[in-house]
Amino acid sequence: SPGTEWVSAAERPGGSLLTRQLQELWRRSRGTLAPQRLLFEVTSASVVSERSSKYVLYTIYLIRSGQFDKAPATIARRYSDFEQLNRRLRCRFSCDMASVAFPRKRLRRNFTAETIAKRSRAFEQFLSHLHSIDEIRRSPEFLEFFFLPDLQAAQRLTCTGMYREALATWANAYRLQDRLGVCSSGRFLLTLAGLAVCHQELDQLSEAHGCCEQALQLLEAQGSHPLLGPFLQAHVHLAWKVGKDKRRSEARLQDLREAGLPLQQQPSLKECLIKEPLD
């Protein structure tokens, strides 16, 4: 059944984003000016006990309306995460937020099945309502609630050499940004750099090459960007390894040299990832 396939795809370790999928996602994200309707579905909620505290962790799928996503974009958040988002948005968008309902904190019975079920529906409605408001949907507060924790975790895993785990986390961050329609931001380029580095470290060179190609398409119109040199150099190296055409990237590197960019001192993609402050 589709449900089973969906879950198994989500749980597949390292769920490798193939070049084909990357290119398809890229084509889709380019042509969509109007935001697609997103559905937010709490698929599970589990009670977590940690030393002296206890909380409920809600797992939420971001689903494109009318489409079947084989690999879902997922987040896991607790009440305090939603509360912080609500507080930040009310500070900045007090008028827009006046009509948005948020489930109140309870003094007791927080862990009953009934409370958890009610909260789950309330969080789905809360996120749907926020996503329907233009200003809020595009705000960093709203967007980073979804993908910043994954980017931070993926960066930590990459820095410590846990490339398979990092790859799965970068891939989920990629899907989250794709669903939210922010496939041209600096964070998205960093996500492509993370995917390229992990694919390369795991000897998945075609996939790494595909990530560099997508990043260079995004950087097409930019004369200078901190990641342009590193992506071009990685692309030339990978194209040579997988037997693909590298002349265009070599020509662009030559242009950068002639414009006075000291390419010898350029950091690698991996160094860019490690140095990027993600807060």
List, for residues 85-121, the tens digit of each pLDDT value.
999 999 999 999 999 999 998 778 888 999 999 999 9
Return the structure tokens found at 243.
């037997």
Is residue 53 classed as helix, strand or coil in its secondary structure? strand
Are the CB atoms for 170 and 246 separated by under 8 Å? no
Instruction: Specify the pLDDT at position 19.
Output: 47
Report which listed range, 5-9, 17-21, 58-62, 182-186, is most confident: 58-62
β-bridge mates for residue 88, sequence order:
none
pLDDT score at 251: 95
The dihedrals phi and psi of 75, each to the nearest 5 degrees, come to: -135, 155
Nearest to 180 by CA among 229, 137, 231: 137
CA-CA distance, 175 to 146, in Å (whole number)? 11
- Measured between alpha carbons, how far is 276 from 279 in angstroms, rounded to an integer? 10
User: Which of 159-163, 225-229, 271-275 ranks highest by mean pLDDT?
Assistant: 159-163
Q: Mean pLDDT of all residues in the chain?
A: 87
Dihedral pair phi/psi, residue 235, rounded to 5°: -65, -45
Question: Which structural domains are found in the chain, ordered by start?
Answer: 36-138 (3.30.1520.10), 146-278 (1.25.40.10)
Task: Provide the token pair at 279.
Answer: 């807060």
For the cut 70, the answer to whether the pLDDT of residue 186 exceeds it is: yes
Percent of the chain with pLDDT over 90: 69
Beta bridge partners of 45: 58
> What letters, b where the CB count within 10 A reaches 16 and e where it falls short, cover 209-229?
bbbbbbbbebbeeeeeeebbb
CA–CA gap between residue 180 and residue 94 (Å, rounded): 23
pLDDT digit string, tens, across residues 126-150: 999 999 999 999 999 999 999 999 9
The length of the chain in residues reads 279
Q: Tell me which of 41-45, 104-108, 238-242 is least confident.
A: 104-108
For residues 194 and 154, the answer to whether their CB atoms sit within 8 Å is yes
Looking at residue 67, what is its pLDDT?
73
Mean pLDDT calculated for residue range 47-73: 89
| Contact (Cβ atoms closer than 8 angstroms) between residue 242 and residue 209 | yes
For residue 185, what is the DSSP state? S
